[in-house]
């Protein structure tokens, strides 16, 4: 697995940042998350999940949330033996990566200083319901979903087994464990935007939700990326 470590001169903390489904650590939106942490003197760990479009092994078509979550666990476990490791740390992720980060926080709340699930998937059922019935029928019948990567331009084909796996997961039943500060963010035109409100209501601890006007699920434009980075920076500065 390809892992990148970025350390400021005088680090005061540690953050893990995870890309979304089929993403990679160099994507502009990932860098928009990373830079505010570096500016605020956090060591930042990014990585390419297996079965993504990055440098790590595996085929994107085979990816599942179970795989991505195991990758996050592996990276954190590896980091424990490194000199930069410290607890509690911050978790940040986008989309499927955000769901993984939140699951980890629910399962290991004592290790987490703060959590930033951006454009997060909330449950398999809610994600399923964002698709048109005919698209679900075609995906199930053919066994494949075909899309185009926005930054890579590559054709991405994803197996139906991805949805079957995703249906096993739901952040809401254990959201009461999220007592650490939580930053939620979404684009106005993200199909999952309303799901962020549902998750927000289930979180008992300090929380905030920011909707980026006119933005899609994956932040792309310079204006959107700047807005995301500024919100991240303000939130990080406010953490104690």
| Within a domain: 188 | yes
Query: Does residue 100 lie in a domain region?
Result: yes
Distance CA 225, CA 203 (A): 26
Q: How far is residue 193's CA from residue 141's CA, in Å, rounded to a whole number? A: 28
**How confident is the model at residue 155, as a pLDDT?**
81
CATH of the domain at 74: 3.40.50.1820
Q: Is the Cβ–Cβ distance between 93 and 117 less than 8 Å?
A: yes
Tokens of 56: 């790590």
How much is the pTM?
Answer: 0.95
- Size (the chain), residues: 240
Question: Which among 103, 105, 96 is positioned nearest to 192, based on CA atoms?
Answer: 96
Q: Is 189 inside a domain boundary?
A: yes
Question: Would residue 29 count as lying in a domain?
Answer: yes
Chain centroid to Cα 238, Å, comes to 21
Task: For residue 186, tell me if it sits in a domain.
Answer: yes
* All residues at 6 or more sequence positions from 16 whose CB lies less than 8 Å from its CB, including other chains: 44, 45, 46, 72, 75, 76, 79, 89, 90, 91, 92, 101
Is residue 219 assigned to a domain?
A: yes
Q: What is the rounded CA–CA span in Å between residue 34 and residue 83?
A: 20
Report pLDDT for 110. Answer: 96
- pLDDT digit string (tens) for the chain, length 240 residues: 999 999 999 999 999 999 999 899 999 999 999 999 999 999 999 999 999 989 999 999 999 999 999 999 999 999 999 999 999 999 999 999 999 999 999 999 999 999 999 999 999 999 999 999 999 999 999 999 998 765 556 788 999 999 999 999 999 999 999 999 999 999 999 988 899 999 999 999 999 999 999 999 999 999 999 999 999 999 999 997
In a domain, 176, yes or no: yes
- Look at the chain and report how many structural domains it folds into: 1
Of 237, 214, 15, 12, the C-alpha closest to 116 is: 15
User: Which domain covers residue 8, as residue numbers?
Assistant: 3-123+170-238
Other CB atoms closer than 10 Å to residue 87's CB: what's the count? Answer: 12
Q: In the numeric block, which tokens belong to residue 190?
A: 């993200």
Taking the C-alpha atoms of residue 176 and residue 76, their distance in angstroms, rounded to an integer, is 23
Classify residue 165: in a domain, yes or no: no
User: ω into residue 88 within 30 of 0, thus cis?
Assistant: yes
């Amino acid at each position: 697995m390809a892992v990148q470590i970025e350390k400021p001169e005088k680090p005061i903390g540690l953050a893990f940042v995870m890309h979304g489904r089929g993403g990679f650590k160099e994507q502009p939106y990932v860098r928009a998350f990373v830079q505010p942490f570096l500016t605020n003197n956090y060591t930042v760990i990014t990585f390419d999940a297996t079965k993504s479009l990055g440098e790590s092994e595996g085929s994107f078509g085979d990816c599942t949330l179970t795989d991505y979550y195991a990758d996050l666990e592996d990276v954190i476990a590896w980091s424990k033996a490194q000199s930069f490791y410290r607890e509690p740390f911050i978790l940040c992720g986008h989309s499927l990566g955000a769901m993984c980060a939140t699951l980890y926080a629910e399962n290991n709340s004592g290790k987490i200083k703060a959590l930033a699930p951006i454009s997060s998937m909330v449950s398999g059922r809610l994600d399923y319901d964002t698709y048109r019935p005919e698209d679900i029928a075609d995906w199930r019948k053919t066994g494949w979903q075909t899309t185009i990567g926005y930054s890579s331009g590559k054709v991405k084909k994803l197996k139906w087994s991805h949805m079957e796996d995703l249906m096993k997961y739901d952040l809401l039943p254990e959201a009461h464990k999220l007592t650490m500060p939580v930053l939620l963010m979404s684009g106005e035109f993200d199909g999952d935007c309303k799901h962020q409100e549902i998750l927000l209501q289930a979180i008992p601890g300090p929380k905030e939700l920011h909707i980026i006007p006119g933005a899609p699920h994956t932040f792309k434009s310079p204006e959107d990326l700047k807005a995301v980075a500024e919100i991240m920076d303000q939130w990080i500065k406010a953490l104690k």
